[in-house]
Amino acid sequence: MSNSRIVEYQCPYCGTKFETEIYDSVTADEDEDLRDRCVSGDLFRTSCPHCKQDFMIQFPLVYIDRRNRFVLWLSETEPGEELVRQIAGPLAPAGYTLRRTPTLKEFTEKIQIFEDGADDRAVELAKYDSLIEFIDNKKGTAEDVTSIDYQKTENGVMKINVRTGDKGMSFLIPVSMLEEEMEQNPERYRVDDASFPVINAEWMIQLFESLEAEGMLS
């Protein structure tokens, strides 16, 4: 069941205080409209009644999708003990994937990843491989890259888009290749769902940096 409440918020532009609705939880499989508003970002978009300026408000949110068996905790901070007890306690052992997403961009991307039935660890590996290929093929430098985005998984192929400014380059990576890498190194990619881990670019970079420090990468 989705839950919302009215809070007082101060406009960052004109300083006017006004009331707005925020959501503490969204149960996506029960409310398709709220699911769509999460994906589009409209759930977080508000407008100041005084200066009419539109802006985004990122508030802590529990997003539950029972159909696709995943839970997202949208927050810059780690979940408290109560959330872990109520959500992770029963759902992690039941096979749900639990993740914390610090940003709205990661939040909306995770929804698409898990709705596609993809593994977000494989997605981050695909992004990393795409960046290396982009650099090795002399298409640009790491400093040129403005974003690396998951597009979709279809017919056993994952599509990743590497953007440089207003240009983009797509990379198609077989899911079987990513799965083989993860199966060969299960401990390397193991995560504890009950802790609401953050699986993003920083996670992947730290993983490879630790391997390099241990002399496991050439």
Q: Which residues of 71-107 are buried (b: 16+ CB within 10 A; e: fewer)?
A: bbbbbeeebeeebbeebbeebbeeebbbbbbbebebb
Say which residue, 140 or 8, is predicted with more confidence: 8
**Residue 197's pLDDT band (boundaries 50, 70, 90)?**
very high
pLDDT in tens, 87-139: 999 999 999 999 999 999 999 999 999 999 999 999 999 999 999 999 998 88
Cα separation values, 104 from 76, 81, 128, 166, Å: 10, 23, 21, 21
Strands, E assignment, 138-177: 147-154, 157-164, 167-174
142-146, 182-186, 211-215: lowest mean pLDDT where?
211-215
| Gap between the Cα atoms of 218 and 215, Å rounded | 7
**Residue 115 CA neighbour count, 13 Å, CB half:** 17
| Three-state secondary structure readout of 15-77 | CCEEEEEEEEEEECCCCHHHHHHHHHCHHHEEECCCCCCEEECCCCEEEEECCCCEEEEECCC
**Residue 210's pLDDT band (boundaries 50, 70, 90)?**
confident
pLDDT at 28: 97
Domain spans of the chain? 3-115, 120-213
pLDDT at 213: 66
> Is the confidence at residue 216, as pLDDT, over 60?
no
| Gap between the Cα atoms of 15 and 51, Å rounded | 9
**Taking the model in full, what pTM does it have?**
0.92
Identify the residue whose tokens are 């899911």. 175
Query: What percent of the chain is predicted at pLDDT more than 70?
Result: 96
DSSP 189: T
